């Protein structure tokens, strides 16, 4: 009986795929489809803002027939970011991309500004705007050097990226509007023009809360998804079953190739991943934590292709490990190495779910150069049911 039900669900899914239908036009978070990776429980918002003090602000730029981009800003805490610095670290999964502020971040193991995400050719304007925002704060009147941290992905398929429109003003608005509540996902902010696995990508987020026996720490992840590969969800080969995946033209029968360029892509693109935690961790273990996020990225079907810039930034908001640049001696109470394993598990789970949310919460975006539709949620729902997932 179970096998018959699974075959029926698969048949219905492929019928819907062939008809190109999407009954449920509303974006859907992963958990509504039964996609709940791992064993740990999410926080209240299932977002990076579940880490106390962290705020997110976003501005979407959609102008005329060709500008489809935006800004997403992550603010580590609401205090004096320059003098009450959070320890931070970077892990590079594949370095095909640009990231402002990386050398000082790695040298000092800390950040002194918010983190801004935007489009590839916008990072220099965004960096200048972020520096201006920091220098304009009254407490920074005497500051003569600032290290803005800005990441990017290339949204050139939908966006006239060479135009670089109004990014500076968008950065200022994103920072001014940053809040600690629910985070908008999908085709918003820095995810407005991004593409994932040939479907519309975007911003996604998720969180995990460790049990009290494991410290009760919180960890949140925010992603800017703009990459490819062979999409899978909780092990289900969704990309192959929907007929859209990397290297398809090279391996699929001629009558099973998707139209246009979707089947020709080789998984290129980029993914920015930002991790926040309230666990007291310094840069060495933050880098180890960031490295585990790539495992969550791989679970979605990415193999970090040659043309994929995959960067992970991680920071701790714990007051015990904050860094004062004027201090003669910094004393810290850091979590021991043996206590990191649960956090490694949590960040892998949260990264995977955040990437699912980026896909499932996306909405269609059109421009003069292209139109990219979101993942067909109803087809995915049927394919997941056929594998016993909800």
Closest residue by Cα to residue 285 from 225, 342, 211: 342
Closest residue by Cα to residue 225 from 59, 49, 355: 355
Specify whether the CB–CB gap between 191 and 59 falls below 8 A: no
Query: Would you call 22 exposed, middle or buried from its count of C-beta atoms within 10 A (0-12, 13-18, 19+)?
Result: middle
Cα 301 to Cα 35, 234, 328, 387, distances in angstroms: 15, 10, 47, 17
Q: Please indicate whether residue 319 is annotated as part of the active site.
A: no
Specify whether the CB–CB gap between 189 and 139 falls below 8 A: no
Could you give the CA distance from residue 244 to residue 264 in angstroms, rounded to a whole number?
A: 9
Q: First and final CA of the chain: distance in angstroms?
A: 17
Q: Which of 207, 270, 283, 302 is catalytic?
A: 270
Contacts of 11 (CB under 8 A, 6+ apart): none
Cα 98 to Cα 94, 101, 127, 330, distances in angstroms: 11, 10, 12, 31
Q: Which of 308, 316, 367, 379 is catalytic?
A: 308
Q: Which two tokens stand for residue 385?
A: 């049911």
Cα-only R_g, the chain: 21
Could you give the CA distance from residue 69 to residue 161 in angstroms, rounded to a whole number?
A: 8
Cα 96 to Cα 73, 90, 287, distances in angstroms: 22, 15, 19
Could you give the CA distance from residue 333 to residue 336 in angstroms, rounded to a whole number?
A: 9
Query: Would you call 288 exposed, middle or buried from its count of C-beta atoms within 10 A (0-12, 13-18, 19+)?
Result: middle
Beta-bridge mates of residue 275 = 221, 314
Q: Please indicate whether residue 310 is annotated as part of the active site.
A: yes
DSSP states of 278-321 as a string? -S---HHHHHHHHHHHHHHHHHTT----TTEEEEEEEEE--GGG
Q: Which of 155, 180, 278, 310 is catalytic?
A: 310
Q: Which residues are catalytic?
A: 270, 308, 310
């Amino acid at each position: 009986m179970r096998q018959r039900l699974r075959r029926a669900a698969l048949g219905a899914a492929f019928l819907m795929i062939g008809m190109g239908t999407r009954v449920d036009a509303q974006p859907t978070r992963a958990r509504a489809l039964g996609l709940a990776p791992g064993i740990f429980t999410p926080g209240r918002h299932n977002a990076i803002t579940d880490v106390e003090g962290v705020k997110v602000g976003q501005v979407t730029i959609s102008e005329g027939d060709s500008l489809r981009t935006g800004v997403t800003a992550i603010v580590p805490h609401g205090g004096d970011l320059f003098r009450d610095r959070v320890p931070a670290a970077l892990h590079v999964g594949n370095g095909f991309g640009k990231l402002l502020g990386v050398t000082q971040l790695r040298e000092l193991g800390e950040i002194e500004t918010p983190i801004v995400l935007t489009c590839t050719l916008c990072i220099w304007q965004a960096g200048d705007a972020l520096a201006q925002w920091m220098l304009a704060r009254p407490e920074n009147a005497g500051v003569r050097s600032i290290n803005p941290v800005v990441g990017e992905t290339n949204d050139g398929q939908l966006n006239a990226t060479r135009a670089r429109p109004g990014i500076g003003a968008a950065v200022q608005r994103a920072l001014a509007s940053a809040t600690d509540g629910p985070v908008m996902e999908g085709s918003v902010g820095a995810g407005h023009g991004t593409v994932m696995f040939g479907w519309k990508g975007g911003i996604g987020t998720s969180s995990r809360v460790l049990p009290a026996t494991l410290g009760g720490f919180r960890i949140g992840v925010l992603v800017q998804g703009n990459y490819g590969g062979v999409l899978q969800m909780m092990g289900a080969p969704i990309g192959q079953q929907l007929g859209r995946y990397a290297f398809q033209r090279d391996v699929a029968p001629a009558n099973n190739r998707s139209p246009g360029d979707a089947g020709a892509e080789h998984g290129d693109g980029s993914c920015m991943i930002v991790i926040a935690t309230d666990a007291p961790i310094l840069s060495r273990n933050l880098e180890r934590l960031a490295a585990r996020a790539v495992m969550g990225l791989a679970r979605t079907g990415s193999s970090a292709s040659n043309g994929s810039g995959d960067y992970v930034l991680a920071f701790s908001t714990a007051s015990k490990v904050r860094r004062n640049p004027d201090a003669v001696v910094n004393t810290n109470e850091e979590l021991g190495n043996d206590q990191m394993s649960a956090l490694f598990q949590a960040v892998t789970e949260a990264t995977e779910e955040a990437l699912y949310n980026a896909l499932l919460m996306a909405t269609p975006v059109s421009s003069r150069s292209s139109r990219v539709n979101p993942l067909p949620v109803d087809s995915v729902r049927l394919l997941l049911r056929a594998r016993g997932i909800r």
